[in-house]
Homo-oligomer: A and B are copies of this chain.
């Protein structure tokens, strides 16, 4: 599916806050990295808080159809203090992930030399989280009745299908093979508390694992996983987990490797029927937005994941290496968004 093509049409959604500042820098880095190997054709979409506040649009059918015709999406960040929490997340970000059936939310976690981990003895941290991206508690299913009374009740339902879980699990096993590290997949869940979903996940792990005799797997409760992320993060190779556990664990993992400023992600449509989406895992950071000081590294690394997705492995590796060198040399200096990007470009 990683076909090499002459032009990649990329929907660019800078979104809100620092998303608008880091995304253009990422485009500059990507352009430099691919040279004239491939044309990166950017199509800009005005989506996010500004648009919503202006005309009430989050992501309409027209937007969806147009974005759906591009090959990939480069997203900055979504979220604005002027918009009630949840509106932009569900109406834009999650709608993109769900509409384009982005089955896998891939989140590599790596401690770069030079980056200051909050841990005393972080060790060598280099693992990837494969977070299921289209179901679980993110389905939005549930209800809230008798609101405002003493008898109020609200439910949320976690949906787990063999179809959805299997493609994420399969991706995780493939990835463990491709990474060529410990070749181990750790499934994370709470099977002791979630009997139904836990059993389905374990059933699928059992089944898929048989096709990968060269890859081992183990199981860890989510609570125990939060401990190991702090006490022994180097034990992990590939973690596969559901949408909500994945959300929480990847933020903790990001913190452990020195802050989510270094954490990239890819929301992957595994059949390439719809565009995949590449985004830093950080948010729009309203507190520093507009100052030009946001670290664009996570966004730039997401751009590298985009290029890798389309088979431009060398360009992706060049960005990776330039980032590693840049971080090793400069992680402790305070630089502007543009300076960081320029420093990375200079090393390409």
Contacts and interface: CB of A to CB of B under 8 A. Distances in A.
A31 to B, nearest CB: 32
B156 A158 contact: yes
Contacts of A256: 230
Interface centre among A117, A118, A144, A256 (most CB of B within 10 A): A118
A119 interface: yes
Interface stretch (A17-25, A192-200, A286-294, A327-335): A192-200
Contact of A227 (B143, B195, B197, B255): B255
A270 interface: no
Interface in A190-223: 190-200, 203, 222-223
Interface in A87-121: 89-90, 94, 117-121
Interface stretch (A8-16, A51-59, A245-253, A296-304): A245-253
Copies of this chain: 2
A253 to B, nearest CB: 9
A142 interface: yes
B197 A226 contact: no
Given A203-B147, A248-B248, A196 B162 contact: no
A160 interface: yes
A195 B85 CA distance: 10
How extensive is the interface on chain A, given as a class? 35 or more
A60 interface: no
A148 interface: yes
Contacts of A149: 162
A252 B252 contact: yes
B231 A252 contact: no
Given A137-B193, A155-B159, A193-B89, A227 B203 contact: no
A157 interface: yes
State the 4 A-B residue pairs at the shortest beta-carbon distance, nearest first: A226-B252, A223-B251, A154-B200, A152-B162
